[in-house]
């Protein structure tokens, strides 16, 4: 049997874009997100007299920066946020970083929300604008890189 979704891109549980919000404000919608991961380091404890193995225990958790690609922001919210966490905005706040709460939400081609990752203490570290050329036929794209202090995941229930 042919699904009515086949002509729209197939499985309704597959994300077709990713919404990025900061403190509830939409920053942009992107087609690609890299770096949403966590690594748990380990420490080794060498027990005296035990030469068969070394005890490993969990240690510090680390999260790489997250990079959003292949999107275009629709408002000045990104640059407003960047100005608060760098340059004159940062200096005007006594050189204190005002960290925000962020969220990445996976969205299907029908607009349904699949899963969200709530990011803690986010701030922007890099933005790259579109490349302009009259010879290019590709859509304009931006790239955004953010730092954060971890995340929690939330699954949305099916309608």
pLDDT tens per residue across span 2-54 = 333 344 445 666 888 999 999 999 999 999 999 999 999 999 999 888 888 99
What's the maximum distance between 2 C-alpha atoms anywhere in the chain? 72
Question: What's the residue count for the chain?
Answer: 159
Q: Is 82 helix (H, G, I), strand (E, B) or coil?
A: helix
Q: What's the rounded Cα separation, in Å, for the pair 15 and 113?
A: 9
pTM (global) more than 0.85: no
Count the neighbouring beta carbons within 10 Å of the beta carbon of residue 17.
18
Domain ranges of the chain: 6-155
3-state secondary structure of 123: strand
To the question of domain 6-155 being in CATH 2.30.110, the answer is yes
**Which residues touch 113 (CB under 8 Å, ≥6 apart)?**
105, 106, 107, 156
pLDDT tier, 159 (very low <50, low <70, confident <90, very high otherwise):
low
Considering 12-16, 134-138, 141-145, the range whose residues carry the highest mean pLDDT is: 141-145
Q: CA 60 to CA 1: how far, in whole Å? A: 50
């Amino acid at each position: 049997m042919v699904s009515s979704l086949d002509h729209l891109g197939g499985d309704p549980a597959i994300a077709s874009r990713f919404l990025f919000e900061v403190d509830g404000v939409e920053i942009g919608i992107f087609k690609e997100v890299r770096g949403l991961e966590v690594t748990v380091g380990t420490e080794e404890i060498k027990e005296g007299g035990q030469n068969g193995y070394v005890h490993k225990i969990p240690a510090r958790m680390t999260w790489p920066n997250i990079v959003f690609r292949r999107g275009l922001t629709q408002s000045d919210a990104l640059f407003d946020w960047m100005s608060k966490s760098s340059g004159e905005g940062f200096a005007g706040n006594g050189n204190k970083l005002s960290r925000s709460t962020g969220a990445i939400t996976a969205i299907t081609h029908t607009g349904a929300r699949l899963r969200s990752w709530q990011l803690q203490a986010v701030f922007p570290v890099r933005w790259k604008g579109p490349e302009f050329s009259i010879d290019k036929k590709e859509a304009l794209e931006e790239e955004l890189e953010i730092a954060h202090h971890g995340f929690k995941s939330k699954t949305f229930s099916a309608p």
